[in-house]
Every structure is written in C-alpha cells, then in structure tokens.
Structure 1
Amino acid sequence: MNELLIIGAGGFARETAQAVRDAGDLKLLGHLDDDTSLHGTEVDGVPVLGGCDLVHDRSAAQVVICVGNPRDYASRARLVRRLGLAGDRYATVVHPTAAVSSTSHVGPGSVLLAHCALTAAVRVGAHVAVMPHVVLTHDDVVGDFATLASGARLGGGARLERGAYVGAGALVREGTTVGAWSLVGMGSTVLGDVPPGEIWAGNPARRLRAAAAPVLDELGTRTTGGPAT
C-alpha cells in the first residue's frame, strides 16, 4: 500500500484525509503544515508531522496538496512551485462515492470528494479540488489548480481555465468559459464567458472587481507539477 502525506491541515485537508480513509487504498502518514502551533498535534486523529518541507525527507511517500480558500485560491500553485516535486510524487484521491466515467480523466494531485460526478469525456487537470456534490457533465474541461466548491454544476462543454474558482452552488452554462484565476461567487449563475483574473457574482453573474494581487500574480506564471489542460 502506497504511503500518503497531505499538505495542509485545514478543512479541505481534513476532508481529503477522510476520503483517503474511506477509500482504503493509501496509507495516510499524516499532515504537513507550516503553522508551527499545529506541529505534534492531531487533526481528527491524524498527526501533524511538521512543516511542508518535510516532504523531501519522506521521498517514498506520495503527496497531495490540500490548501486554498476564496481569499487566496492561488496558494496551491505557489506550494507546488515551492516544493518542486516530480509529477509522479503526486497522488490522485477519489472518494469511493464519486462517480467517474470511464471516458473521463483526472490529473495528478487532484482530489474528488464525496458524491461528485464526472459524466462523459470530462477532463480534470492537475491539483484540482472538486468538493462534495459537484457535477461535471459531458466534455467539460477543468484546468490545473482550479477549485469547484460544494454543489457547483457545469453544463456540457464548459471550461474552467487554470486556477479558476467556482463557489458553492454556482451554475455555469454549457459551452461557457471561466477565465484563468477568476472567481465565481457562491450561488451565482454564469451565462456568458468570464474573463481571466476577475471576480463575478450574482444571478446572472456580473463583474464585481479584479481578483486580489496574490491571485493576479499567477496569470503570468507557469507552475510545474502536472500537465496543463
């Protein structure tokens, strides 16, 4: 059984740890987190072993990076770049209740949580976070480092470009694109293309403002660690 280290010890990391336990195909060694106050503690019974750079001391273990939130959804990309691990170090975690069709593909470092569905010919890139009850329908393309919060739905042929964030319960119309490092607010309905690096929300979704500086910095950056989509 392959060993696994989870980078991060927050909510997403905890949910991923539960998915690993439920799937039973990886041996979970523990969390790594740069918050020193967590070192030597346990999170839901899983030890926090130390800082993120300890991943280099456990070279036989696979890794999944589980950080990020709507205030800084570029943090996964920065950590992948900082750690500089080979692509084959990254595991793909799929909860046993997730429905992934035989014609769909999920990249390294990505996490699919409980009851999400990938229907037909869906392509999910590397280091993507797919939260519970997300539905990706035929021919959707989800770029590296994207995040789909709980209950998000994409119509057929929709595209999330690199680093895009779709909030909880949001709907994206078929054939539309959410641009790189843009964020769609929770409960929004996207009826047309969202340009890169912007925050949109509402029903129908409209532009609110540009994304924050740490996110916009990623627009010109190509992070290694998995294939681009």
Structure 2
Amino acid sequence: MEKPIIIFGAKGIAHPALEIFNSHEVVVYGFLDDDATLHQKEINNISILGKLEDDGFLKLIGQKCDAFVAVDDPKYRETLVKLLNTRRKVQPVNAIHRLSYISTDAGIGHGNFINAKVTIGAGAEIGNHCILHTNATIEHQAKLEDFVQVGAGAVINSNVTIEKGAFIGSGVTIVAGVTIGKNARVGAGSVVIADVASKQTVFGNPAQAIEK
C-alpha cells in the first residue's frame, strides 16, 4: 500500500494532481500553501492544512507520508524540492495520469506531473520535477532535463534536447534535433526550427528572439 500524499501548493496543478492520485486510489492527506486565505478551505473535500514549511506537517514526510510539489514556478519548485531533499531526505513522487502513454523504453525521474493524453516515446528521457500538460507529445529519443514545463498540445519531436528550467508554451512545435537552452522560454503556438540560447525568449512561426 502506498503512503498518503501531502501536496505542496494548492493552486495551478494541485487540483489535477489530486485527481491523478485519486484515480490511483492513493490517499491525499492534505495540501500546504503559504496563502493564508486558503487555509482550512478544501479542494474536493481535501483540506488546505497550513503553510509550506510548517514543521508539524513536514515531519510526516518520509515516515508516514510522501510528497508531491504542485508549484508551477520552476525556481520556487526547486526551492521546495531542496527543502524536502535536505530536511526530510526524500524525493517527491510522480503524478502520472492513467490516460497518459509512456513507452516502456522511456526513462522518467522523480516528482514529475504528467497529465492526461501525454505521450512519451521510446528512448525519451524525462528528468526530475517536470510538468507535462494535457496532450503534450514527447517523441522518441527526446531529452528533457529537470524542471522543464511543456504546455498543453505541444509537440517535442525526436532528438530534441530541452535544458533545465525551460518553458515550452501550449501548442508549440519543436522540430527534430533542436536544443532549447537552460531557462529559455518558447511562446504559445510557436514553431521552433533552430536552437534557442539559454535564457532567450522566442515566439512566432518560425520562432524569433524577442528583444528585452
């Protein structure tokens, strides 16, 4: 029997993560969130218990509960992961929707959110703490490093590399063999036909750099 889950964060992907755990008949103990106006409220009858770094709840992680980090912002997500790694010596669990397809030859790390109808092809590598929204396609041999977010309906073609912390908007197409650099951002609906540098923001068809 799997341990109950405490979900870190009560906004964004928190609600669909709850749905995923419920579908796997995994008990969600509650949510933690720093927004005090949410405390003692409920999401589908599951309470928002208190703050994210509340020692009373943190001490349950690893012994009696597992954790899932449901925070969209990659920097804050990374902060919470480090908190769990250092203070509780645990890695967050994956939330993987029953209606996703993951090749038996794909590799997947820890703490990932993989929503309905996501397809992950043979030989693809998904790092840790990535967020893959509904109907995203990760083709064979593609590689996503840690803390990558891929929007709904995006298509990441074969042999694409997406480096740590990059954001890929909804409906994006990235052609085969392209590299998206660390912390880069690709705007929704873009078609990316060339490499994108680290921290660069691109948009359009074909995608072009946006000057800051």
Note whether the superposition's TM-score is higher than 0.5: yes
1:79 maps to a residue whose letter is: L
Bigger drift between 181-190 and 51-60 goes to 51-60
Q: 1:64 aligns to what? A: 68
Shift of 1:159: 0.8
Q: Deviations over 1:102-139 (max 9, x none)?
A: 10111111111111011111110111111110100110
Gaps of 5+ in 2: none
1:65 maps to a residue whose letter is: V
Bigger drift between 42-51 and 176-185 goes to 42-51
Give the 3 Å change call, closer, same or farther, for CA 86–164 of structure 1 in structure 2.
farther
Alignment partners' CA distance in 2, 1:119 and 1:87: 31
Shift of 1:35: 0.7
Shift of 1:85: 4.9
Task: Tell me, yes or no, if structure 1 residue 32 matches structure 2 residue 32.
Answer: yes
Task: Tell me, yes or no, if structure 1 residue 101 matches structure 2 residue 103.
Answer: yes
Gaps of 5+ in 1: 211-229
Contact 2:7-2:70 within 8 A present in 1 as well: yes
Q: 2:164 aligns with which of 159, 162, 165?
A: 162
Please give the residue correspondences for 1:179-190 in structure 2 after superposition, counting only pairs within 5 Å: 179-190=181-192
1:168 maps to a residue whose letter is: S
Bigger drift between 73-82 and 163-172 goes to 73-82
Q: Deviations over 1:174-208 (max 9, x none)?
A: 10011111110111111010000111111111111
The total of aligned residue pairs comes to 206
Q: Deviations over 1:32-75 (max 9, x none)?
A: 1111111111023221011111352212211111112xxx5432
Structure with greater contact order relative to length (CA < 8 Å, sep ≥ 6): 1
Alignment partners' CA distance in 2, 1:86 and 1:209: 42
Q: Which runs of 4+ in 1 moved over 6 A?
A: none
Shift of 1:87: 6.1
Shift of 1:23: 2.3
Please give the residue correspondences for 1:78-157 in structure 2 after superposition, counting only pairs within 5 Å: 78-83=79-84, 84-85=86-87, 88-157=90-159
Alignment partners' CA distance in 2, 1:135 and 1:85: 35
Q: 1:75 aligns to what? A: 76
Structure 2 length as normaliser, TM-score? 0.91
Alignment partners' CA distance in 1, 2:188 and 2:89: 32
Identity level (%): 26
Structure 1 length as normaliser, TM-score? 0.85
Contact 1:87-1:108 within 8 A present in 2 as well: no
Give the 3 Å change call, closer, same or farther, for CA 180–39 of structure 1 in structure 2.
same
Alignment partners' CA distance in 2, 1:86 and 1:150: 33
Q: Secondary structure of the residue that 2:4 maps to in structure 1?
A: strand
Contact 2:30-2:46 within 8 A present in 1 as well: yes
